[in-house]
């Protein structure tokens, strides 16, 4: 074992090693940002705020690492599958990648002690295969970038995801050859809004939209508010009843492609900046 020099400072060595390894992870996470970051873009500003530099005091050090690990969420990356269950992402039609779009309420719109509403919509990319050697051409990174740009054009305005109003009306669209095999529903407050959303999704995957393949179900029961005070009593204990298809604004947050099996999904665009996406 090599002897340490007499003037070796273990604390200084620990700080330098931590700073080196930490900044490597920051640089990899922000690999789309040149240099150490700047104020010209959101991600450039975030990278600048996250990187440790010589001369940081303890408070600054703590704020930078907390911003990166806790607020941006790097420490939680891939620890849980919050982007859908295995049942959702396993492709029943073998070989076709699956595109997911995720929407949720703005945090300030969620009632106190209420549950944040969200919705995830998916379709198949029937133009492509997941792997080479199949009948269809395998999807490439260039294909994914093109897909991401079209999602941005259709679902992002002024750097924010578009908003639609959810409600009690269930609108489904069934067109198996073009990527909609199960007719998954979109809960909306109006039929016309659902048609617009399906048209946008068809534009994203470059497939024709057919109004005759739309199916609309309008239940007699009215939507209930997220702030409803109605309760159920179970074994003598009261529980708040869940809201029935409440009317609420849901905003587009991110989109990713799943290949099924054990392959990790690839995020195409993410307005929350919690995932490393192909485009910003």
pTM of the predicted model as reported, rounded to 2 decimal places: 0.67
At 175-229, the pLDDT tens digits run: 988 999 876 799 999 999 999 999 999 999 999 999 999 999 999 999 988 876 6
Rounded CA gap, 123 and 178, in Å?
A: 9
Of 70-74, 87-91, 101-105, 168-172, the range with the lowest mean pLDDT is: 87-91
Contact (Cβ atoms closer than 8 angstroms) between residue 48 and residue 60? no
Band (41; pLDDT cuts 50, 70, 90): confident
At 161-179, the pLDDT tens digits run: 999 999 999 999 999 889 9
The domain segmentation of the chain, as residue ranges, is 10-76, 87-270
Using only C-alpha atoms, what is the Rg of the chain?
Answer: 23
């Amino acid at each position: 074992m090599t002897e340490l020099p007499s003037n070796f400072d273990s604390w200084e060595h620990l700080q330098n090693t931590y700073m080196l390894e930490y900044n490597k992870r920051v640089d990899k996470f922000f690999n789309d940002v040149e240099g150490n970051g700047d104020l010209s873009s959101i991600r450039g500003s975030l990278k600048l705020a996250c990187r440790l530099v010589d001369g940081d005091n303890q408070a600054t050090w703590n704020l930078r690492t907390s911003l990166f690990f806790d607020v941006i969420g790097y420490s939680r990356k891939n620890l849980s599958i919050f982007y859908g269950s295995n049942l959702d992402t396993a492709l029943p039609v073998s070989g076709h990648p699956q595109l997911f779009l995720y929407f949720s309420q703005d945090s300030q719109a969620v009632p106190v002690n209420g549950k944040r509403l969200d919705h995830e919509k998916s379709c198949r990319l029937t133009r492509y295969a997941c792997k080479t050697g199949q009948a269809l051409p395998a999807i490439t990174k260039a294909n994914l970038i093109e897909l991401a740009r079209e999602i941005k054009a259709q679902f992002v305005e002024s750097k924010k995801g578009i908003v639609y109003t959810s409600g009690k009306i269930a609108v489904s669209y069934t067109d198996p050859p073009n990527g909609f095999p199960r007719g998954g529903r979109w809960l909306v407050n109006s039929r016309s809004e659902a048609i617009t959303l399906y048209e946008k999704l068809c534009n994203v995957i470059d497939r024709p939209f057919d109004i005759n393949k739309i199916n609309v179900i309008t239940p007699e029961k009215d939507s209930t508010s997220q702030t409803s005070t109605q309760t159920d009593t179970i074994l003598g204990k009261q529980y708040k009843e869940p809201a029935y298809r409440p009317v609420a604004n849901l905003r587009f947050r991110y989109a990713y492609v799943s290949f099924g099996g054990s392959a990790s999904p690839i995020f195409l665009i993410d307005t929350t900046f919690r995932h490393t996406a192909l485009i910003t």
